[in-house]
Structure 1
Amino acid sequence: MKYKNGLLGHKDIGTYPYPLRRRLVLYILLPMLSFYFLYTLNLLLSSANHRQPCTTSTANHLSFTDDSNPNTKFTQTGLQHIVFGIAASTRLWDKRKEYIKVWWQPNRMRGFVWLDKPIGEFNSTVPLGLPMLRVSSDTSRFLYKHRQGHRSAIRLSRIVAETHRLSLPNVRWYVMGDEDTVFVPDNLVRTLAKFDHRQMYYIGSNSESHLQNIYFSYNMAFGGGGFAISRPLAEALASMQDGCLNRYPVLYGSDDRIHACMAELGVPLTRHPGFHQYDVYGDLLGLLLAHPVAPLISLHHLNVVRPIFPNSSTQAVALKKLFAGPVRLDSASVMQQSICYDNVNQLTVSLSWGFAVQVVRGIMSPREMEMPIRTFLNWYRRADYTAYTFNSRPVARNPCQKPYVYYMSEARFDAAKRTTVTRYDLNNTDRPACQWKMFDPAEMLDHIIVYKKPDPGLWDRSPRRNCCRILATPGGDQSSMHIDVGVCREGEFSQI
C-alpha cells in the first residue's frame, strides 16, 4: 500500500532496487511478526493463570479452590462443614428438646443450643443426643419498642453472630433454627453443596401465610423454618449487626431484624422450597401429600398441628418413626410425590414416599393432585383459600370423592432385591355413605406395598417427580396393592 510520503513516512518502497526492497521488508515485517507472537503468548499465559481450577465430584458437586492457597482443593461440603445455632428458652426446653433428639447426630454434627439462662443440664456432661448448651450474652443495651413483641427477639437475632465468634475451624455454613424445628440433615447438605460457600448467601424460605409475608416481608427467611448463612456473610453480619440492631428497635421478631441487616449488606434471600415454616393449624396431611419437587429440609411449628402419623401419642414419636425408617433408608426421596392410575378399578393413586398414599375413586389429573388439599387452617385461623402463598384445593364435599389415606406403617431394606420396601395401612375413619357402584378401597384394599431403590443422587439431576407403576399382586390378592417407584423411563409420564 502506498502513502503520500511513502511507507511509514519514507519514500515509496517500489522506487528502490529489488535487493534493497527485500532487506527493507525483512527489517520491517520481522519485528512486527515477533511482536504479534509475543503478545499472543502473553494472552494465553495470562488466561491460564487467572482460570479458577475446579474438579467435579462423583455427586456432580463442584469442589472449589481456596483463594488463599491455590494448591489446596476443597472437598465436597458435608455435615462437618455446618454449624447449627438453635434458638431455645428455658421455659420450653424440657418439651422442645425432644424435637432436637429426633434429628441430631452427635458424632456427625456441630452446633449449640442458645438459652436465655442456665439450666440444670449445664452442670452435667453434654446431654446425650443433644448439641452443646450455651447462654446468650446480655442484650439489655439494645433498644426494643414493639408493643406486642418480646425483647428476646434481639437475643435470638444475634445467635448466628455469637456462634461465628466462637471461631470454630473449617466452617462453611451457619444454619439457624428454633428448638421445635426438625431438619433432615442429609438433604440440607445436598442443598448447600450446590452453592459456592465462599460467596455471601442467605438461603431460606417464606411463610405459607400471605398475610405473614405482607406483615413482615416476602424477602425474609422465616427463622422457624430455618435458614443458612455462608461464612463470609456471617463474618460481615457479625461485624455490623450490633449497630444495625439499634437502627431497628420497632421490629417485631428476630428474623425480621436479621433481614433488615441483610438489606443493609445488600444480600437478597435465595429461596428454597424445602425449608418449611408451616404457619398453619390443623393437619399437615394435605401439604405433605403434595410436597414440592425439592428435597425436604426442615419442618417447623409441629407443636401446633396434629402428629403427622395419626396413631402416634405425640408429634415427637411420629417424627421418630419417620426418621427411623424412610429418612434412614432414602432421605433424598422422603415426602416426594408420585402419581399413577389403576385403570382397571378407575383409581387415582398419589404417593408421598415414606409418609402416606392417598387413593381417590375416579380419575383426577396430575395438575389437580399436585395441589395440596386444604386439611389445614391459615395462621390467622381463617378458612380462606386466598390466604396462602400457593395453590390449593378444597376438601372434597362429595363423599364418594373423599380420598382414602394409607399411612406408612413399616419401612425396611430388602438386601436381596437391593430395594426399599414400605408398607402403608388404611387409616380407618368413619366415612359417609357413597352410592357409586365401583371399587371401594375401604372394603377391598387393606394395605399398599411400595418398592423403591434408594436414590441418593436424586437431586443431582434436574427436578422431576418420580414415576410410579401399579404392579400385579401376587396370586391376584385384591386386599393389597403393589407399586414400583423410581426414575421415569424414556417416554414415561403420568398418563390419565
Structure 2
Amino acid sequence: MSRDRLRPSHDPAIKRGLYSLQDNTRVIFSYLTRLFLILCLIFSVSLVLYTSFSSSNKNQFWHRIPHAARTGTVLSPGPPTNISHVLFGIGGSAATWRDRSVYSSIWWVPDVTRGFVWLDKKIDSPRTNINGPPAKVSSPEWTRFKYSSSRSAVRIARIISDSVKLRLPDVRWFVMGDDDTVYYIDNLVSVLSRYDHNQMWYIGGNSESVEQDVMHSYDMAFGGGGFALSYPLAERLVSILDGCLDRYYYFYGSDQRIWACISEIGVPITRERGFHQFDIRGSAYGLLAAHPLAPLVSLHHLDALEPLFPNHNHKESLKSIHQAYQADPPRIFQQTFCHDSKRKWSISIAWGYTVQLHPLLLPAMDLQTPVQTFKTWRSWSNGPFTFNTRPEPDLCKRPVVFMLERVKKGGFNGSLTSYKRIEHEPGNTCKTTQYAQAMSVQRILVSSLKMEPDYWKKSYVQAPRRYCCELMNKGIVKNNSMQLRIRKCRNRESITSGLD
C-alpha cells in the first residue's frame, strides 16, 4: 500500500461530507446534552416533591399513631377489650371466705364477670353469696413444694397455673387478687385496654408504706391490690412456675414469688396508680380525699382499716361509694379544687366521697397532698410513705368535712351529688369567726356532666388533666347549702386567680 492512501483526501466533495458529519454530530450531542439536563431537572424536582410529600405524610401518619403504639404499647386488631376478656383468680381459704365474700358481692356481676375464688378445701356451698364468684378447690400439687414460713402462699401463687389450665375461651388478661379486694371493673377494663394483650405485660401497684417495699421489692406488684398478667405472659410464666417456686421457697408472699419468676422471664412491672394495696393503718380518708389523677381500680386491706364513712360499717361504706361509682365510673374519687376568694375559702372535692372546705386559701400543691390520717402498715409509724403527706395539727387549719349523702341524675347526661357536714367531736373545733362561718354550711351540692366513658382509655395519647370547679350563684350560701359545678378546665384556666 502506498503512503498516499494514508493521507487525508483533498477532494472537495469528501471534505464537504466530513464537515457535514461533524455538524450532525454536534447537533446530536447538543440535543442529548439538553435532553440530559431536562431529565436531571425533572428528576430533581420530582425528588424534592416526593421527599416533601412523603415526609409530610410520614409526619402526619406518625402523629396519627397513638403515643403508646410509638413506645411499644401497640393496640392489637380485634374487638376492644371488655370485661368478658378478663378472668379473675381470687385467693381465699375455706376459713375466711364466708366472711370475706361480702367484699366480692360489692363488685361481682353475675353472668358478666368471669373467674373463681380458689380455696384450700371444699366448703358446704360453693357459692356462699349469690353475687359472689363461684368457688374452686386448688389443685393438690401445691402441697409438694418447699416453703419457709407461709405454705398457703405457694397455693395462692399457683392460682395463675390453675387458671391458665382451665383454657377458657377469649381470655386476654388474668387478674389476681385477694378475697378482701374490691375491684372497680369499668376502670380496670379502661386501664387494661391501653395495652396490647398479645404482648407480655405485668401490671399493678406498689405498697404505700416504704418499709413494705424495702422488705419485699419496689419492682413487685403487691397482690392484695391486685395485678394483671396478659395471656402470653401468664402462659410463659406457667411453663416455668413449678421449678421457680422451689427456687424461691424462702419468700413469704405469693406475690413476691410470682414477681421473682416473672423477673426470670425478663418482664418488668408496669405501674398503675389506681391499684391500692392499702398497706396503711387507721383511716384511709386522707389518701382517698386526695386520690391521685388516675382511675380507681381496686381497694384492699379494708378489714384492717376504719370504715370509709363515719358511723357506717365496711359494707355500708362500700355500698355508698359503689352507688356513686355506678353513676359515673371514671370520675369516682377524682379530686377537683376551687376557691372562694371573697371569703378566703379553699374547697377540695373527691367526687363520690367527700368535700373538704378549708377556711383559708391553699395552693393546689397543698390540696393535692393527702392529709395524714393513717400510719404505716408494719410499724404503725408516721412514715415514710411512697407519696408526700401533710400533718394538720392546727385545729384552725383542718378542713370542715362533708361526706357523700346521695347521688342522683342531673339533666340529660349529668349527676347531682350532695355532701353533708359531719359533726366534730366536742372540744375538737377551732373557735375563730372564720371557722364558724365555714361550719355554718351544712350541705354542699355538686353538679357535673358525666366524664367520657373512655376518658382513661385515651390517657395514653392525651395527657390527663384535673377538672375545674366553680361556685354557683356567686357562692351564696342559701338554706345552709352551697352549690358547686365541676366542668372541664378552659385552655388558659388555673386556680391561681382565686389566690390573688
Is TM more than 0.5 here?
yes
Q: What per-residue deviation string (whole Å, max 9, x for no partner) do you get for residues 365-384 of structure 1? A: 11011111110011124333
Task: Tell me, yes or no, if structure 1 residue 345 matches structure 2 residue 361.
Answer: no
| Secondary structure of the structure 2 residue equivalent to 1:448 | strand
| Secondary structure of the structure 2 residue equivalent to 1:438 | helix
| Secondary structure of the structure 2 residue equivalent to 1:129 | coil
Task: Tell me, yes or no, if structure 1 residue 194 matches structure 2 residue 182.
Answer: no
Give matches, 1:324-335, under 5 Å: 325-335=323-333
State the match for 2:3 in structure 1: none
Give matches, 1:374-453, under 5 Å: 374-385=372-383, 387-394=384-391, 396-414=392-410, 416-430=411-425, 431-438=427-434, 440-441=436-437, 443-453=439-449
User: Structure 2 vs 1, CA of residues 187 and 241 (structure 1 numbering), >3 Å: closer, same or farther?
Assistant: same
After superposition, the CA RMSD in angstroms is 2.9
User: Structure 2 vs 1, CA of residues 176 and 338 (structure 1 numbering), >3 Å: closer, same or farther?
Assistant: same
| Secondary structure of the structure 2 residue equivalent to 1:140 | helix
Which 4+ stretches in 1 moved above 6 angstroms? none
User: Structure 2 vs 1, CA of residues 64 and 284 (structure 1 numbering), >3 Å: closer, same or farther?
Assistant: closer
| Secondary structure of the structure 2 residue equivalent to 1:224 | coil
Code of the aligned partner of 2:363: S
State the match for 2:454 in structure 1: 457
C-alpha deviation, 1:55, in angstroms: 10
State the match for 1:108 in structure 2: 112
C-alpha deviation, 1:419, in angstroms: 1.5
State the match for 2:362 in structure 1: 364
Structure 2 residue aligned with 1:144, among 141, 144, 147? 147
Q: Choose 135-144 or 188-197, whichever is displaced more.
A: 135-144
Q: What per-residue deviation string (whole Å, max 9, x for no partner) do you get for residues 292-349 of structure 1? A: 000000000000111111121x2122101111x2111111000010111111221111
1: CA distance between counterparts of 2:477 and 2:298?
A: 40
| Secondary structure of the structure 2 residue equivalent to 1:357 | strand
State the match for 1:307 in structure 2: 307
User: Structure 2 vs 1, CA of residues 391 and 231 (structure 1 numbering), >3 Å: closer, same or farther?
Assistant: same
Task: Tell me, yes or no, if structure 1 residue 131 matches structure 2 residue 133.
Answer: yes
Q: What per-residue deviation string (whole Å, max 9, x for no partner) do you get for residues 354-411 of structure 1? A: 00001111111110111111100111243333x21111111x2222112111000100
State the match for 1:94 in structure 2: 98
1: CA distance between counterparts of 2:474 and 2:128?
A: 51
User: Structure 2 vs 1, CA of residues 379 and 474 (structure 1 numbering), >3 Å: closer, same or farther?
Assistant: closer
State the match for 2:472 in structure 1: 471
Work out which of the two has the higher radius of gyration on C-alpha atoms and give 1 or 2. 2
1: CA distance between counterparts of 2:413 and 2:248?
A: 56
C-alpha deviation, 1:458, in angstroms: 2.7
User: Structure 2 vs 1, CA of residues 81 and 438 (structure 1 numbering), >3 Å: closer, same or farther?
Assistant: same
User: Structure 2 vs 1, CA of residues 117 and 345 (structure 1 numbering), >3 Å: closer, same or farther?
Assistant: same
Q: What per-residue deviation string (whole Å, max 9, x for no partner) do you get for residues 62-95 of structure 1? A: 9955xxxxxxx40111001110000001111111
User: Structure 2 vs 1, CA of residues 250 and 350 (structure 1 numbering), >3 Å: closer, same or farther?
Assistant: same
User: Structure 2 vs 1, CA of residues 457 and 440 (structure 1 numbering), >3 Å: closer, same or farther?
Assistant: farther
Code of the aligned partner of 1:361: P
Task: Tell me, yes or no, if structure 1 residue 261 matches structure 2 residue 261.
Answer: yes
2: CA distance between counterparts of 1:281 and 1:255?
A: 21
Structure 2 residue aligned with 1:83, among 83, 87, 94? 87
1: CA distance between counterparts of 2:464 and 2:167?
A: 37
State the match for 1:373 in structure 2: 371
> Is contact 2:440-2:480 (8 Å) kept?
yes
> Is contact 2:280-2:374 (8 Å) kept?
yes
Structure 1 stretches of 5 or more lacking a match? 1-14, 30-39, 45-50, 57-61, 66-72
State the match for 1:47 in structure 2: none
Q: Choose 333-342 or 457-466, whichever is displaced more.
A: 457-466
> Is contact 2:74-2:195 (8 Å) kept?
no
Structure 2 stretches of 5 or more lacking a match? 1-21, 37-49, 55-60, 67-72
1: CA distance between counterparts of 2:435 and 2:209?
A: 38
Task: Tell me, yes or no, if structure 1 residue 214 matches structure 2 residue 214.
Answer: yes
2: CA distance between counterparts of 1:131 and 1:155?
A: 19
C-alpha deviation, 1:221, in angstroms: 0.2
C-alpha deviation, 1:432, in angstroms: 3.1
C-alpha deviation, 1:204, in angstroms: 0.3
User: Structure 2 vs 1, CA of residues 433 and 175 (structure 1 numbering), >3 Å: closer, same or farther?
Assistant: closer
User: Structure 2 vs 1, CA of residues 473 and 245 (structure 1 numbering), >3 Å: closer, same or farther?
Assistant: same
> Is contact 2:441-2:481 (8 Å) kept?
yes
C-alpha deviation, 1:448, in angstroms: 0.3
2: CA distance between counterparts of 1:483 and 1:225?
A: 33
User: Structure 2 vs 1, CA of residues 433 and 170 (structure 1 numbering), >3 Å: closer, same or farther?
Assistant: closer
> Is contact 1:121-1:127 (8 Å) kept?
no
Question: Of Structure 1 and Structure 2, which has the larger fraction of its residues in helix?
Answer: 2
Task: Tell me, yes or no, if structure 1 residue 169 matches structure 2 residue 173.
Answer: no
| Secondary structure of the structure 1 residue equivalent to 2:224 | helix
Q: What per-residue deviation string (whole Å, max 9, x for no partner) do you get for residues 157-207 of structure 1? A: 111121011001111100001000001000000000010111000000100
1: CA distance between counterparts of 2:371 and 2:315?
A: 24
2: CA distance between counterparts of 1:476 and 1:362?
A: 17
Aligned residues: percent identity?
A: 39
Q: What per-residue deviation string (whole Å, max 9, x for no partner) do you get for residues 201-242 of structure 1? A: 000010001011111100000000000000000110111100
Give matches, 1:54-69, under 5 Å: 64-65=75-76
| Secondary structure of the structure 2 residue equivalent to 1:409 | strand
TM-score normalised per structure 1: 0.83
State the match for 1:12 in structure 2: none
Code of the aligned partner of 2:98: D
> For this pair of structures, how many residues does the alignment match?
440
2: CA distance between counterparts of 1:336 and 1:114?
A: 33
> Is contact 1:347-1:360 (8 Å) kept?
yes
